Structure 1
Protein backbone atom coordinates (compact mmCIF):
# COMPACT_ATOMS: atom_id res chain seq x y z
CA UNK A 1 0.00 0.00 0.00
CA UNK A 2 2.83 2.40 0.75
CA UNK A 3 4.18 2.13 -2.79
CA UNK A 4 0.82 3.02 -4.30
CA UNK A 5 0.37 6.28 -2.36
CA UNK A 6 4.02 7.32 -2.14
CA UNK A 7 4.28 8.48 -5.76
CA UNK A 8 3.05 11.93 -6.66
CA UNK A 9 0.69 12.38 -9.57
CA UNK A 10 0.78 15.27 -12.06
CA UNK A 11 -2.92 14.81 -12.82
CA UNK A 12 -4.05 17.04 -9.97
CA UNK A 13 -4.05 20.77 -10.81
CA UNK A 14 -5.67 23.76 -9.18
CA UNK A 15 -8.60 25.24 -11.04
CA UNK A 16 -8.45 28.93 -11.87
CA UNK A 17 -11.64 30.98 -11.84
CA UNK A 18 -12.38 34.58 -12.68
CA UNK A 19 -13.53 36.82 -9.82
CA UNK A 20 -16.89 37.26 -11.58
CA UNK A 21 -17.42 33.48 -11.55
CA UNK A 22 -16.63 33.26 -7.85
CA UNK A 23 -19.00 36.15 -7.11
CA UNK A 24 -21.78 34.50 -9.12
CA UNK A 25 -21.39 31.20 -7.24
CA UNK A 26 -21.32 32.90 -3.84
CA UNK A 27 -24.41 34.97 -4.64
CA UNK A 28 -26.23 31.87 -5.87
CA UNK A 29 -25.38 29.90 -2.74
CA UNK A 30 -26.67 32.75 -0.56
CA UNK A 31 -29.96 32.80 -2.48
CA UNK A 32 -30.51 29.03 -2.32
CA UNK A 33 -32.87 27.81 0.40
CA UNK A 34 -33.42 24.15 1.16
CA UNK A 35 -36.60 23.27 3.05
CA UNK A 36 -37.19 19.82 4.51
CA UNK A 37 -40.75 18.58 5.06
CA UNK A 38 -41.54 15.03 6.17
CA UNK A 39 -38.15 13.76 4.98
CA UNK A 40 -38.41 15.43 1.55
CA UNK A 41 -36.08 18.26 0.55
CA UNK A 42 -37.26 21.18 -1.57
CA UNK A 43 -34.83 23.66 -3.12
CA UNK A 44 -35.93 27.20 -3.92
CA UNK A 45 -34.03 30.14 -5.34
CA UNK A 46 -34.85 33.35 -3.45
CA UNK A 47 -34.00 35.72 -6.33
Structure 2
Protein backbone atom coordinates (compact mmCIF):
# COMPACT_ATOMS: atom_id res chain seq x y z
CA UNK A 1 0.00 0.00 0.00
CA UNK A 2 2.82 2.43 0.76
CA UNK A 3 4.05 2.22 -2.82
CA UNK A 4 0.70 3.40 -4.20
CA UNK A 5 0.77 6.60 -2.17
CA UNK A 6 4.42 7.39 -2.74
CA UNK A 7 4.21 7.48 -6.54
CA UNK A 8 4.20 10.90 -8.10
CA UNK A 9 1.00 11.77 -9.89
CA UNK A 10 1.33 12.69 -13.51
CA UNK A 11 0.38 16.26 -14.27
CA UNK A 12 -2.66 16.40 -16.53
CA UNK A 13 -1.90 17.37 -20.10
CA UNK A 14 -2.93 20.93 -20.83
CA UNK A 15 -5.74 20.89 -23.35
CA UNK A 16 -5.84 23.80 -25.77
CA UNK A 17 -8.60 24.42 -28.33
CA UNK A 18 -7.85 24.47 -32.04
CA UNK A 19 -7.86 27.76 -33.93
CA UNK A 20 -10.86 26.53 -35.95
CA UNK A 21 -12.87 25.98 -32.76
CA UNK A 22 -12.16 29.48 -31.49
CA UNK A 23 -13.02 30.99 -34.87
CA UNK A 24 -16.33 29.08 -34.98
CA UNK A 25 -17.33 30.23 -31.49
CA UNK A 26 -16.45 33.85 -32.24
CA UNK A 27 -18.37 33.82 -35.52
CA UNK A 28 -21.39 32.27 -33.82
CA UNK A 29 -21.34 34.79 -30.99
CA UNK A 30 -21.10 37.70 -33.44
CA UNK A 31 -24.07 36.39 -35.44
CA UNK A 32 -26.25 35.70 -32.39
CA UNK A 33 -28.58 38.40 -31.15
CA UNK A 34 -30.98 38.13 -28.25
CA UNK A 35 -34.03 40.38 -28.03
CA UNK A 36 -35.90 40.66 -24.76
CA UNK A 37 -39.62 41.36 -25.11
CA UNK A 38 -41.43 41.41 -21.79
CA UNK A 39 -40.68 38.09 -20.09
CA UNK A 40 -39.64 36.38 -23.35
CA UNK A 41 -36.21 36.11 -24.94
CA UNK A 42 -35.94 35.74 -28.72
CA UNK A 43 -32.66 34.41 -30.11
CA UNK A 44 -31.88 34.99 -33.78
CA UNK A 45 -28.82 34.01 -35.78
CA UNK A 46 -27.97 36.31 -38.66
CA UNK A 47 -26.20 34.33 -41.37
Structure 1 stretches lacking a partner, 5+ long: 1-11
Aligned residues: 37
CA RMSD of aligned residues (A): 2.0
Relative to the length of structure 2, the TM-score reads 0.65
Matched with 2:28 is 28
* Distance (whole Å) between structure 1 residues aligned to residue 14 and residue 37 of structure 2: 38
* Distance (whole Å) between structure 2 residues aligned to residue 44 and residue 37 of structure 1: 13
Hey, which bits of structure 1, 4+ residues long, moved more than 4 A? Answer: none
